[in-house]
């Protein structure tokens, strides 16, 4: 009889857990996964995928606004939230099925229930079944962080926003991170009156300040109301169903919905980690080494629950590296340098490498090249919005340290530019490249 029921038991069927389980099974391991909600995890079910689809839907409103300038006459145009919402959720169902098929095709056994750790090699399922595994992988992701104040029960998080019965006419978004900015942009474009409440005077802290300032200027020009240095004191629900929000330092604000988007905490509560003596960080993150191993040699963790870099592609790479290391005989570590990221605001912004502030702090003497331009696409728009690209280089060698941009399709353009930053190219390599004209991307090889 085998010593354990499984070679690998994964808790969580999100991006990192699915990749790790699939690859481990391909290496010949007997694998099982427990998922208490839906296969696919945050990104597929309630995160970047459905959110990006809402972004596309909301951006179409702006395109319609340009229609007459482009020669089109569209009569009777109107927006129906339920149609977009239901289409997005139907595609989420489709993607969940594909993820399930991936696990099934690799003979990974899936338990649609919660699993908790009872020891270094043992787990208990919600049904009461006890199982053992040579290795356990925790890939439970993160969960919306919710501040405490009276009336919080009347508010929603990004988990619920995809299932709203009606589009709010007036929406308050609480937070200054990418989730807050993206949903503020979505509902603003769809015609909602949007107020953003942030406890400091700075949003999107990890992005280049000059790019963020441009985004903030554009967002305000599009009608988003920003309340900086503000926090919710309480929320009361009126007889008419509307929410009255007390911000403490001004008149109460009346809205239809309050969306809390103040970040995400590692989803580690109630997993039984203490039963295996697993070391935790103060914020609930599972501490791991460079090979994703916890303080218990038989238990590993990947993805947002480790709170290293909360990005889906990073979780996928960590899961793959774990499987190759433990089951493939190929120990691998992840390089966390120069990871590209984007905010799908409207317009979107994207960046890779060091910001100007970070580069000056690390290198002292740097050069900054920029292009401040009005994208051709924006000529058709009544908004005189300008794009901004910037490149930060080390002063002597002119090695590119970071590239940051805001404008239409910035994430699509940035992905290719990230290769150059990762490869350690110099500005001269960009200068030597012939421009692709007319395009927005050509600004990258014309920076002055």
Q: Give the CATH number for residue 191.
A: 3.50.50.60
Q: Kindly state whether residues 83 and 127 are assigned to the same domain.
A: yes
Q: Give the CATH number for residue 390.
A: 3.30.390.30
Distance of alpha carbon 352 from alpha carbon 309, whole angstroms: 14
The pLDDT, as a whole number, for residue 220 is 96
284 annotated to bind ligand? no
Average confidence score pLDDT of the chain: 95
Residue 426 has pLDDT above 80, yes or no: yes
Q: Kindly state whether residues 317 and 356 are assigned to the same domain.
A: no
The pLDDT, as a whole number, for residue 384 is 78
Q: Kindly state whether residues 309 and 384 are assigned to the same domain.
A: no
In a domain, 340, yes or no: no
The pLDDT, as a whole number, for residue 249 is 77
Q: Kindly state whether residues 282 and 407 are assigned to the same domain.
A: no
The residues pairing with 123 across neighbouring beta strands, listed in sequence order, are 117, 131
Residue 63 has pLDDT above 90, yes or no: no
The pLDDT, as a whole number, for residue 70 is 86
Q: Kindly state whether residues 98 and 132 are assigned to the same domain.
A: yes
Q: Kindly state whether residues 62 and 79 are assigned to the same domain.
A: yes
H/E stretch holding 171: strand 170-174
Nearest to 347 by CA among 413, 416, 406: 406
The pLDDT, as a whole number, for residue 431 is 96
In a domain, 341, yes or no: no
The pLDDT, as a whole number, for residue 277 is 95
Domain boundary among 262, 283, 317: 262
The pLDDT, as a whole number, for residue 1 is 59
Q: Kindly state whether residues 433 and 410 are assigned to the same domain.
A: yes
Q: Kindly state whether residues 272 and 140 are assigned to the same domain.
A: yes
In a domain, 316, yes or no: yes
Residue 382 has pLDDT above 90, yes or no: no
- Number of domains comprising the chain: 3
CB 226 within 8 A of CB 213: no
Q: Kindly state whether residues 126 and 275 are assigned to the same domain.
A: yes
Residue 50 has pLDDT above 70, yes or no: yes
300 annotated to bind ligand? no
52 annotated to bind ligand? yes
In a domain, 333, yes or no: no
Q: Which amino acids are annotated catalytic?
A: 437
Neighbours of 80 (CB within 10 A): 9
Pull the structure tokens for residue 72.
Answer: 């089109």
The pLDDT, as a whole number, for residue 65 is 80
CB 446 within 8 A of CB 372: no
Domain boundary among 262, 286, 305: 262
Q: Kindly state whether residues 40 and 161 are assigned to the same domain.
A: no
178 annotated to bind ligand? yes
77 annotated to bind ligand? no
Neighbours of 160 (CB within 10 A): 14
Q: Kindly state whether residues 89 and 159 are assigned to the same domain.
A: no
Q: Kindly state whether residues 113 and 15 are assigned to the same domain.
A: yes
Pull the structure tokens for residue 242.
Answer: 């509307």
26 annotated to bind ligand? no
Residue 291 has pLDDT above 70, yes or no: yes
The pLDDT, as a whole number, for residue 89 is 96
Across the range 210-226, mean pLDDT stands at 96
In a domain, 335, yes or no: no
287 annotated to bind ligand? no
C-alpha dist (Å) from residue 269 to 96, 130, 211, 284, 309: 25, 20, 37, 8, 19
Model confidence band, residue 76 (pLDDT cutoffs 50, 70, 90): confident
In a domain, 113, yes or no: yes
In a domain, 428, yes or no: yes
Residue 310 has pLDDT above 80, yes or no: yes
Give the range of the structural domain holding residue 178, as residue numbers without chain letter.
152-262
CB 10 within 8 A of CB 20: yes
The pLDDT, as a whole number, for residue 242 is 94
Q: pLDDT, tens digit, for every residue of 102-156? A: 999 999 999 999 999 999 999 999 999 999 999 999 999 999 999 999 999 999 9
Residue 381 has pLDDT above 90, yes or no: no
Q: What are phi and psi of 241, to 5 degrees?
A: 90, -10
In a domain, 230, yes or no: yes
Distance of alpha carbon 114 from alpha carbon 37, whole angstroms: 8
28 annotated to bind ligand? no
């Amino acid at each position: 009889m085998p010593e354990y029921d499984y070679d690998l038991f994964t808790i969580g069927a999100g991006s990192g857990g699915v990749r790790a389980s699939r690859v481990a099974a391909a290496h010949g391991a007997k694998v099982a996964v427990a998922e208490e909600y839906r296969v696919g995890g945050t990104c597929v079910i309630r995160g970047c995928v459905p959110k990006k689809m809402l972004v596309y839907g909301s951006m179409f409103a702006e395109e319609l606004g340009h229609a007459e300038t482009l020669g089109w006459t569209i009569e009777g145009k109107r927006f129906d939230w339920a149609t977009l919402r239901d289409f997005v959720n139907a595609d989420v169902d489709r993607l969940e099925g594909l993820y399930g098929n991936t696990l099934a095709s690799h003979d990974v056994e899936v338990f649609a229930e919660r699993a908790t750790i009872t020891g270094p090699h043992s787990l208990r399922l919600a049904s009461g079944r006890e199982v053992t595994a040579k290795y356990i992988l925790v890939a439970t992701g993160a969960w919306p962080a919710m501040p405490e104040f009276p009336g919080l029960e009347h508010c929603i998080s990004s988990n619920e926003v995809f299932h709203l019965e009606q589009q709010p006419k007036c929406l308050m978004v609480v937070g200054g991170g990418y989730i807050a900015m993206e949903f503020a942009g979505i509902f603003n474009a769809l015609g909602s009156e949007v107020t953003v409440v942030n406890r400091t005077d700075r949003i999107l802290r990890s992005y280049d300040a000059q790019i963020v300032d441009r985004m903030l200027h554009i967002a305000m020009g599009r009608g988003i109301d920003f309340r900086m240095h503000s926090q919710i004191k309480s929320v009361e629900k009126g007889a008419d169903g509307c929410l009255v929000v007390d911000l403490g330092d001004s008149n109460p604000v009346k809205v239809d919905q309050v969306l809390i988007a103040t970040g995400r905490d590692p989803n580690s509560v109630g997993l039984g980690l203490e039963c295996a003596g697993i070391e935790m960080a103060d914020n609930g993150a599972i501490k791991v080494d460079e090979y994703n191993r916890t303080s218990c040699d038989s238990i590993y963790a990947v993805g947002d629950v480790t709170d290293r870099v909360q990005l889906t592609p990073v979780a996928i790479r960590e899961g793959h590296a774990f499987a190759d290391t433990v089951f493939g005989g190929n120990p691998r570590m992840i390089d966390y340098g120069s990871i590209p990221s984007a905010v799908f605001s409207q317009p979107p912004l994207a960046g890779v490498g060091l910001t100007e502030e970070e580069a000056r702090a690390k290198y002292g003497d740097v050069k900054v090249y920029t292009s401040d331009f009005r994208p051709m696409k924006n000529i058709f728009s009544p908004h005189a919005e300008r794009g901004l690209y910037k490149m930060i280089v080390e002063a002597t060698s002119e090695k590119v340290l970071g590239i940051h941009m805001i404008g239409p399709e910035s994430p699509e353009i940035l992905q290719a530019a990230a290769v150059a930053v990762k490869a350690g190219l110099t500005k001269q390599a960009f200068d030597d490249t012939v421009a692709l004209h007319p395009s927005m991307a050509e600004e990258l090889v014309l920076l002055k």
